Structure 1
Amino acid sequence: MKYTPLSRDEGRLLVKIARMAIEEHLRGSETLRLPDNLPEVFRKKRGIFVTLEKNGNLRGCIGYPEPTKPLIDALVEAAISAATCDPRFPPVKPEELDDIEIEVSVLTPPEPIEVESPAEYPKVIRVGVDGLIVERGWARGLLLPQVATEWGWDAEEFLCNTCMKAGLPPDCFYDPETRVYRFQAQIFHEDD
């Protein structure tokens, strides 16, 4: 499957729809009226994450790493879930909406990182470009590409933190049973 990047206007529309979905849901509406003539790319299956920030702090982040649903469906579900179902935070209240900024990350399909030895992982990870998924057994952790940049991590710190996000020891990527995947993201902000 060829990955076609979204245009800036398509990204702006995604962010606008994410806000509409959250607002409608918090008002108690069961239906969201989507704009007519959505771009064709919105019907393609894509991975997506919706991140909410309040006063510069994380307020919710939920998404789909794999391209299992049409982009528009995944967007609406992830937006509502980021506002109401992130277990790290209480649900967003309607009065908070004016203080919340929305970011939408549209992902490329995850691909395994192939290395001769696990010690090579930090050498092939591009900080600020690659997002990571670490998987061992049932444990799985994901960090978006922008997280490493926001925290000022190098590639090894990024790997360690992704391991910990999976609930695994920070050096678990050295274990040959651990699988490491990379993906990229197009990131759209409300203020773009």
Structure 2
Amino acid sequence: MNTGDFNLTLEDKKALLAEARCAIEQLFGLNITPRPDLSACSEAIYAHCGAFVTLNKYGQLRGCIGQMISDRPLIETVHNMAISAARHDYRFPPVTASELSDISIEISVLSPLKRIRDISEIELGKHGIYLVKGVRSGVFLPQVATETGWDLENFLGHCARDKAGIGWDGWKDADIFIFTATVFSEDEIA
């Protein structure tokens, strides 16, 4: 999949958000959100690409889990990542049924990874980073740089130390990959 020929329609985005919400509701035996009608969607929802599902509560992070790549259709990846974000983000206790109405879902659909040789290739706010050093790895989505206001050194340093666990300067001898993301949320697509 080339980033140039991958595009999600508004109907695709609505269906993916509905699928994520349905997946979380099903954890509690609820059927509040109707299952998405996929007949109006493009083939993009069946593409095999990485995706992250982010849960926010009152504008604060409540859970975020994703896959950099996937061998499953996007709609399935989103379903599975929504459940994981609600239940398995080690930074937070599992989401409860009473929180559902306060949680907003955001989805980031990822382009293929591109290995870079020089950090000058990273465009803050446009590119996410995936650092790999040995068995350790860490990822920041593109929006992290924008949300935090970090410069490039802080973006790399925080990812290396806080996500990959390889120390602040660990990025200097790690493999660095960049990617872009199509990001959309329930708040913007109401």
Is the shorter-chain TM-score for this pair beyond 0.5, marking a shared fold? yes
Give 1:13's aligned amino acid: A
Q: Which TM-score applies when normalising by structure 2?
A: 0.89
Query: Match of 1:76?
Result: 79
Contact 2:130/2:139, CA 8 A, preserved across alignment = yes
Number of equivalences: 182
- Residues 30-179 of structure 1: pairs in structure 2 closer than 5 A: 35-37=37-39, 38-115=41-118, 121=119, 123-164=120-161, 165-175=163-173, 178-179=174-175
Query: Secondary structure of the residue that 1:16 maps to in structure 2?
Result: helix
Alpha carbons of structure 1 residues 39 and 25: separation in structure 2 relative to 1, 3 Å: farther
Distance 1:161 1:39 in 2: 37
Per mean C-alpha deviation after superposition, the further-off stretch among 105-114 and 35-44 is 35-44
Of 184, 188, 191, the residue aligned with 2:187 is: 191
Query: Match of 2:28?
Result: 26
Distance 1:146 1:36 in 2: 28
Give 1:130's aligned amino acid: H
Alpha carbons of structure 1 residues 112 and 36: separation in structure 2 relative to 1, 3 Å: closer
Give 1:187's aligned amino acid: V
Identity %: 42
Contact 1:45/1:71, CA 8 A, preserved across alignment = yes
Contact 1:12/1:189, CA 8 A, preserved across alignment = no
Distance 2:38 2:133 in 1: 43
Contact 2:18/2:36, CA 8 A, preserved across alignment = no
- Ranges in structure 1 where 5+ consecutive residues have no aligned partner: 116-120
Contact 1:46/1:107, CA 8 A, preserved across alignment = yes
Contact 1:67/1:109, CA 8 A, preserved across alignment = no
Alpha carbons of structure 1 residues 104 and 155: separation in structure 2 relative to 1, 3 Å: same
Query: Match of 2:2?
Result: 2
Per mean C-alpha deviation after superposition, the further-off stretch among 11-20 and 182-191 is 11-20
Query: Match of 1:16?
Result: 18
Distance 1:126 1:36 in 2: 34
Query: Secondary structure of the residue that 1:45 maps to in structure 2?
Result: coil
